Amino acid sequence: MLRYIVNRLLIVVPLLLALTVLLFLYVHAVPGDPIAGMLGPNGTPELVAQIRADRGLDRPLLEQYWSWLSGLVTGDLGVSLISGQDITPIVIARIPATLQLTFAGLFFVILIGFPAGYLAGKHKGGWLDRILSPAALIGLSMPAFWVGTLLILVLGVQLRWFPTGGYVAFEDNAWQSLRLTLMPALVLGITLSPFLARMVRASTAELAHEPFIVQARTRGLLPGTISRRYLLRNAILPVVIVIGMQLGTLIGGQVIVEQLFNWPGVARLLIEGAVRRDYLLVQSLIFVIAVIYIVINLLTEVVHASLDPRVRL
């Protein structure tokens, strides 16, 4: 097990390093002068030069890369192109909101996706499957902004059950915080659970023909016992894999949902940076998001490997 983890880590480190090179080149691939572009008609050459020097963009490329990289290692993400503020504290302030939404979203993804996939797979071809499978395909085709808009209009505007957007920290007002989390998390659940449902369905349906299930059946075990003891346990495996696989989509969904519900998270910061063309902020945020993505992927792989010893081979 330890060897497996070390092996995976050995792949991650060069991957991250290459990613920093790519992202560094990204900022320098900006056509024209990003600072002149940012300042527009107000940008006198002196002002441009002053900001350039202030943000450290006038140093040799290698030196710039080195200082960015050594900053990253110590957790310093550099400064914003526009405001000149340190990025790290801004990002850290946004992390609790983002995590709250991510976990609430994952909760709904599993709550909807797992039972639906398991039941459809267990009774493959049955009436439930014939309702759930097309429903999953429709769910897969619905953009998060559309589902979110519908929920806002119905639950927020018509019925007035939930606020239409905003964020309150959990420790400030737990009840209001949960009320505000529900709709955006539900959007993530509705739009992302079909992936999980389809995977769980396929693997559960395949399980029915596995020798150990057939053997359990011939031993005369009750269907309920077989389900509990063998089917359910094995059906949980793909959940871990799908969470790793669909993480990119979850992050993409989160970008949309944070924007739609005015959720002050990291993803919304990325959009704010993109709209204002703050390349340095966007660069650092892409790095942070990619690191989170890679780390969670690594974790799901390790969990998967600990659940299923075959993977370690």
- The residue whose two tokens read 């900053």 is 71
Task: Compare residues 124 and 217 and give the one whose CB is closer to another protein.
Answer: 124
Token digits of residue 273: 């940076």
Choices 9-17, 66-74, 108-116, 175-183 (CB under 8 A): range interacting with another protein: 9-17
The answer to whether 294 and 12 have CB atoms below 8 angstroms apart is yes
Residues with Cβ within 8 Å of 245's Cβ and at least 6 positions away in sequence, in order, are: 195
Return the sign of the alpha-carbon dihedral for residues 183, 186, 190, 192: positive
User: Binding segment for another protein among 59-67, 173-181, 201-209, 215-223 (CB under 8 A)?
Assistant: 201-209
138 binds another protein per the rule CB under 8 A: yes
Spatial CA neighbour of 57 closest among 20, 31, 28, 86: 28
Identified binder of another protein from the candidate list 119, 202, 221, 307, rule CB under 8 A = 202
Residue 159 touching another protein (CB under 8 A)? no
Contact assessment for residue 105 and residue 188, using Cβ atoms and an 8 Å cutoff: yes
Three-class DSSP category at 86: strand
Which one among 118, 167, 195, 263 touches another protein, defined by CB under 8 A? 195
Residue 39 has which token pair? 């300042």
Which residue of 38, 39, 135, 142 would you call a contact of another protein, by CB under 8 A?
142
Q: Is residue 39 close enough to count as binding another protein by CB under 8 A?
A: no
Q: Which of 256, 269, 280, 305 binds another protein (CB under 8 A)?
A: 256
> Does residue 153 interact with another protein by CB under 8 A?
yes
The answer to whether 141 contacts another protein (rule: CB under 8 A) is yes
Q: Is 19 in the site for another protein (CB under 8 A)?
A: yes
CA 50 vs CA 20, 41, 57, 78, 276: distances in Å:
26, 16, 10, 17, 20
Residue placing its CB nearer to another protein in the complex, 51 or 199: 199
The pair of structure tokens assigned to 104 is 């609430």
Q: Which amino acid belongs to residue 150?
A: L
Count of residues near another protein by CB under 8 A: 67
240 in contact with another protein (CB under 8 A): no
178 vs 296, beta carbon nearer another protein: 296
Nearer to another protein, 144 or 185 (CB): 144
What DSSP character marks residue 33? Answer: -
Assess 236 for contact with another protein (CB under 8 A). no
User: What is the smallest separation between the CB atom of 291 and another protein, expressed in angstroms?
Assistant: 9
Q: Does residue 4 interact with another protein by CB under 8 A?
A: no
Residue 294 CB neighbours (<10 A): 16
For another protein, the binding residue among 5, 48, 135, 140 (CB under 8 A) is: 140
Partners of residue 79 on adjacent β-strands: 86
Burial 12-41 (b: 16+ CB within 10 A, else e): eeeeeeeebeebbeebeeeeeebbeebeee
297 binds another protein (CB under 8 A): yes
d(CA 192, CA 179): 21
Residues near another protein, by CB under 8 A: 11-12, 14-15, 18-19, 22, 26, 29-31, 124-125, 129-130, 133, 137-138, 140-146, 149-150, 152-153, 157, 195, 198-199, 201-202, 205-206, 241-242, 244-249, 251-252, 255-256, 259-260, 270-271, 273-275, 277, 279, 282-283, 286, 289-290, 293-294, 297-298
